[in-house]
């Protein structure tokens, strides 16, 4: 009946308004006194209370874009950042991310929540233990790295993975983590055509940075994968993406692999696919040499640079005379 629908509509409006008011009061109460020296377990308490409100809110207002839900979790991130006890911060971060994964049993059903989970994960991932990230966070990232149809989730998943690999402490790099890095390297090569040049370069730098300190064999394996991608790539854009990534890896190459790597740079510089970009390739190579921190590696790179550029100039003079 029309009257029943009116009553239902009024009730829903009242409920929605009440939820907003409750959430606003709670947020104000939490933020008005600042986060320093507050109860270290406050993030979990706030999350538990407000997440229930937001779930009800979403049921009441199906078209709502979860802004309140997003705000609650960002509030929890701020509170966690203010926790001085590292162990409590780790526990709080893992609890929040675990709760978020429980919010949507079928992750494919709610892209908004997936994107937000990945955003929150990027902010908290370095506060979590590596074991937790490997078991709980990265599997969700993998799902969206393998399926690039959802562009925003795909990018966020890369950001979370890169943040973790880039920030994990050297003492925490073990065989399990290295295996995950290798898996990520394979994913990068599979999605080469989808990633921008900057995304691909930054990601592969992170891979080599972690692998190179662990094993020269694994580093060589990653470099071989890049060479295969360049050789087998069908699009010139993808070939250039790989070619201009390789020189940027120079600062992370160990001394034992340096001779082979420098010869690889020579072959790439003379490859017909980058004939129009040879000067840019050399400029990028020199820029990368200046970033080499290991003195022994730097001396070898500079010696090679002087010899190779001299050889190039001689070849150009010979061609000009012919």
If DSSP states are collapsed to H, E and C, what string results for 202-230? HHHHHHHHHHHCCCHHHHHHHHHHHHHHH
Is residue 240 in some structural domain? yes
Is residue 3 in some structural domain? no
Q: Phi/psi class of residue 219: alpha, beta or left (left: φ > 0; alpha: ψ in -120 to 50)?
A: alpha
Picking from 21, 12, 25, 96, the residue whose alpha carbon sits closest to that of residue 58 is 12
Write down the pLDDT at residue 168: 82
Is residue 165 in some structural domain? no
Is the pLDDT reported for residue 25 higher than 70? no
Q: Are the CB atoms for 207 and 181 separated by under 8 Å?
A: yes
Is residue 282 in some structural domain? yes
- Structural domain of residue 271, as residue ranges? 175-322
pLDDT digits (tens, 9 = 90+) for 197-245: 998 999 999 999 988 888 888 899 999 999 999 998 878 888 999 999 9
Write down the pLDDT at residue 267: 93
Is the pLDDT reported for residue 11 higher than 90? no
Q: Give the span between the Cα atoms of 41 and 85, in whole angstroms.
A: 11
Write down the pLDDT at residue 318: 46
Question: What integer is the mean pLDDT of 53-75?
Answer: 64
Contacts 24+ apart (CB under 8 A), 156-163: 156/115, 156/118, 156/119, 156/122, 157/118, 158/195, 158/199, 158/203, 159/118, 159/122, 160/118, 160/121, 160/122, 160/125, 161/203, 162/202, 162/203, 162/206, 163/122, 163/125, 163/126
**CATH code, 233:** 1.25.40
Overall pTM surpassing 0.85 (yes/no): no
Q: How many CA atoms lie within 13 A of 155 on its CB side?
A: 7
Is residue 74 in some structural domain? no
Number of domains in the chain: 1
Question: What integer is the mean pLDDT of 8-14?
Answer: 63
More confident of the two residues 214 and 303: 303
pLDDT band for position 63 (cuts 50, 70, 90): low
Write down the pLDDT at residue 300: 95
Write down the pLDDT at residue 322: 36
Write down the pLDDT at residue 321: 45
Give percent of the chain with pLDDT exceeding 70: 74
Q: Give the span between the Cα atoms of 260 and 227, in whole angstroms.
A: 13
pLDDT, averaged across the chain: 81
Is residue 61 in some structural domain? no
Is residue 272 in some structural domain? yes
pLDDT digits (tens, 9 = 90+) for 112-166: 778 888 888 998 999 999 999 999 999 888 888 877 677 788 888 999 999 998 8
Is residue 90 in some structural domain? no
Q: Give the span between the Cα atoms of 73 and 70, in whole angstroms.
A: 5
pLDDT digits (tens, 9 = 90+) for 246-302: 999 999 999 999 999 999 999 999 898 888 888 899 999 999 999 999 999 999 999
Question: What integer is the mean pLDDT of 83-103?
Answer: 84
Give percent of the chain with pLDDT exceeding 90: 29
Write down the pLDDT at residue 281: 93
């Amino acid at each position: 009946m029309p009257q029943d629908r009116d009553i239902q509509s009024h009730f829903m409006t009242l409920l929605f308004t009440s939820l907003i008011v409750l959430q606003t009061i709670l947020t104000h109460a939490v933020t008005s006194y600042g986060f320093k020296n507050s109860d270290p377990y406050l993030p979990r308490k706030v999350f538990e209370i407000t997440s229930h409100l937001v779930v009800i809110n979403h049921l009441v207002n199906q078209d709502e874009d979860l802004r309140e839900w997003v705000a609650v979790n960002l509030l929890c991130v701020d509170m966690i950042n203010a926790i001085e006890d590292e162990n409590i911060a780790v526990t709080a971060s893992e609890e929040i991310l675990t709760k978020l994964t429980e919010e949507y049993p079928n992750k494919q059903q709610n892209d908004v929540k997936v994107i937000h989970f990945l955003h929150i994960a990027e902010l908290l991932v370095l506060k979590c233990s590596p074991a937790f990230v490997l078991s709980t966070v990265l599997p969700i990232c993998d799902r969206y790295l393998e399926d690039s149809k959802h562009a925003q989730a795909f990018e966020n998943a890369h950001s979370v993975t890169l943040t973790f690999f880039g920030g994990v402490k050297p003492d925490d790099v073990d065989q399990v983590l290295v295996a995950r890095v290798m898996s990520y390297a394979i994913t990068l090569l599979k999605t080469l055509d989808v990633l921008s040049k900057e995304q691909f370069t930054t990601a592969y730098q992170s891979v080599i940075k972690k692998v190179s300190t662990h094993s020269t064999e694994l580093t060589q394996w990653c470099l071989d994968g890049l060479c295969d991608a360049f050789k087998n790539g069908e699009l010139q854009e993808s070939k250039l993406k790989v070619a201009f990534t390789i020189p940027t890896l120079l600062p992370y190459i160990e001394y034992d692999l340096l001779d082979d790597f420098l010869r690889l740079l020579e072959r790439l510089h003379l490859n017909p696919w980058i004939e129009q970009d040879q000067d840019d390739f050399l400029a990028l190579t020199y820029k990368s040499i200046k970033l080499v921190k290991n003195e022994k590696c730097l001396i070898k790179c500079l010696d090679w640079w002087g010899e190779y550029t001299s050889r190039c100039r001689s070849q150009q003079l010979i061609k000009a005379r012919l």
